[in-house]
């Protein structure tokens, strides 16, 4: 039987005239804009609620070094600990075909001073077309590979040291401002871009701490569809405390399938920037006159081998080993930190619905300093997570 669909506006008109005791008169044609508005009122808003639980057990395998990496010459400090890293709740509201509002909060941040914490994403995004979308609020500006995906599908233990350092400098992590993003094709080559302007002083700030802003851009070129090879170019300029700052970065990613079950995913990323946090943390008499003398430089390589098991609830296992090199002041007082993070993970359900990871974090410094975090350490980790 063929179904009959009657516009809701016509039904409303008939009901109205019947209630009033009037004979239905001629019905004017409904304008296309009115029909579209009625459809949107029926369809929207669309709400989506997601979450992430992530907990860890940590054991320091280095004498006199606690689980946070701090050396204690007196032997004090906690060398093993259970902790809840993330208890995230995310809500997305699609309020029209083109408009989206998103909120992301990490409730685990309540375990310490929640000021400038807890609330992570809080933005409105309006999509004109696949070529252009505008985001306003608190979000993660794109300045590398890691900014483009969430923590729950990361291929290692945590964000790289490079990502954390550049987040403190205002180029990555959660910032307040606005961004333009989009995707186009340059001939047969996929191309995506992002341009952001942010305060640069982190999330949940009442006001910018100076009049300067930080401008950054990311350009991604799809070099090979078969192997998922993408080349990313990142650059940024800005002003902090009336002094000019800049940052540069380049990254390369790809994946290779070995048959139906084996896959090798690889990421390589390098960045350099003015370390204005270090500069302003020093007394005027202890620093040079040039802000550009204080530079942070880092690189990491992350290969991840995945095998699809698909046996009952066990979906896959993964084996990765990230190598990192970072030096927060390599030009004047170099003290490079090298980090090796071998990880073995078991994925249950689909799309990282549940995961167990075991691994080590091995830190090595060029120069060690007692009673600081600049001290060689070995950390054993067991991590469990669930997406819902």
Please give the chain's pLDDT, 388 residues, in tens. 334 444 444 444 444 444 444 444 454 555 556 656 666 566 888 999 999 999 999 999 999 999 999 999 998 889 999 999 999 999 999 999 999 999 999 999 998 888 889 999 999 999 999 999 999 999 999 999 999 888 888 889 889 999 999 999 999 999 999 999 999 999 899 999 999 999 999 999 988 888 899 999 999 999 998 899 999 999 999 999 989 999 999 999 999 998 889 999 999 999 999 999 999 999 988 889 899 999 999 999 999 999 999 888 899 999 999 999 999 999 998 999 999 999 999 999 888 889 999 999 999 999 999 999 999 999 999 999 999 8
The encoded tokens of residue 78 equal 């906690």
Domain 54-387 CATH superfamily: Porin (2.40.160.10)
- pLDDT of amino acid 36: 61
| Domain parsing of the chain, residue ranges | 54-387
Cβ(24)–Cβ(47) below 8 Å = no
Q: In whole angstroms, give the CA distance from residue 238 to residue 241.
A: 10
Backbone angles phi, psi at 36, to 5 degrees: -65, -40
- pLDDT of amino acid 76: 87
Q: Which residue has the tokens 């002094």?
A: 243
What contacts 21, CB < 8 A, 6 or more positions away? none
- pLDDT of amino acid 328: 94
What contacts 216, CB < 8 A, 6 or more positions away? 141, 142, 143, 171, 195, 196, 198, 234, 235, 236, 238, 247
- pLDDT of amino acid 230: 96
Number of helices (H), then strands (E), belonging to the chain: the values are 4, 16
Burial class (CB in 10 A: 0-12, 13-18, 19+), 375: buried
What contacts 212, CB < 8 A, 6 or more positions away? 200, 238, 239, 240, 241, 242
Instruction: Residue 135: count other Cβ atoms within 10 Å of its Cβ.
Output: 23
Q: pTM here? A: 0.84
Radius of gyration for the chain, computed over Cα atoms and rounded to the nearest angstrom: 26
**Dihedral (C-alpha) 328, 331, 335, 339: value to the nearest 10 degrees?**
50
Classify 95 in phi/psi space as left (phi over 0), alpha (psi -120 to 50) or beta: alpha
């Amino acid at each position: 039987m063929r179904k009959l669909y009657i516009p809701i506006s016509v039904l409303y008109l008939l009901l109205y005239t019947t209630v009033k005791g009037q004979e239905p008169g001629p019905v004017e044609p409904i304008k296309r804009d009115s029909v579209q508005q009625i459809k949107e009122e029926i369809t929207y808003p669309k709400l989506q609620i997601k979450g992430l639980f992530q907990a860890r057990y940590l054991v320091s395998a280095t004498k006199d070094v606690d689980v946070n990496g701090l050396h204690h010459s007196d032997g004090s400090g906690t060398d093993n600990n259970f902790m809840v890293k993330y208890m995230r709740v995310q809500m997305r509201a699609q309020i029209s075909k083109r408009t989206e509002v998103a909120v992301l909060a990490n409730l685990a941040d309540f375990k310490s001073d929640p000021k400038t914490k807890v609330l992570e994403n809080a933005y409105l995004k309006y999509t004109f077309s696949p070529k252009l979308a505008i985001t306003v609020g608190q979000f993660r500006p794109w300045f590398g590979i890691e900014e483009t995906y969430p923590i729950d599908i990361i291929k290692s233990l945590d964000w790289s040291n490079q990502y954390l350092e550049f987040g403190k400098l205002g180029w990555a992590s959660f910032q307040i401002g606005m961004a333009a993003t989009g995707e186009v094709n340059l001939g047969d080559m996929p191309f995506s871009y992002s341009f952001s302007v942010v305060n640069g002083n982190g999330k949940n700030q009442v006001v910018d701490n100076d009049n300067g802003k930080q401008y950054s851009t990311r350009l991604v070129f799809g070099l090979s569809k078969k192997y998922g090879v993408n080349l990313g170019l990142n650059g940024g300029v800005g002003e902090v405390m009336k002094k000019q700052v800049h940052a540069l970065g380049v990254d390369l990613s790809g994946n290779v399938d070995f048959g139906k079950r084996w896959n090798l995913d690889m990421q390589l990323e390098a960045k350099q920037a003015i370390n204005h946090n270090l500069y302003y943390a020093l007394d005027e008499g202890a620093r040079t006159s040039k802000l550009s003398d204080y530079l942070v430089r880092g690189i990491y390589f992350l290969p991840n081998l995945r095998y699809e098991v698909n046996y009952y609830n066990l979906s896959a296992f993964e084996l990765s080993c990230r190598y990192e090199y970072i030096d927060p002041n390599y030009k004047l007082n170099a003290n490079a930190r090298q980090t090796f993070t071998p990880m073995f993970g078991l994925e249950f359900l689909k799309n990282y619905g549940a995961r167990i990871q075991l691994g080590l974090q091995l830190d090595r410094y060029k120069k060690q300093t007692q009673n600081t975090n600049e001290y060689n350490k070995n950390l054993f980790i067991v991590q469990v997570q669930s997406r819902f």
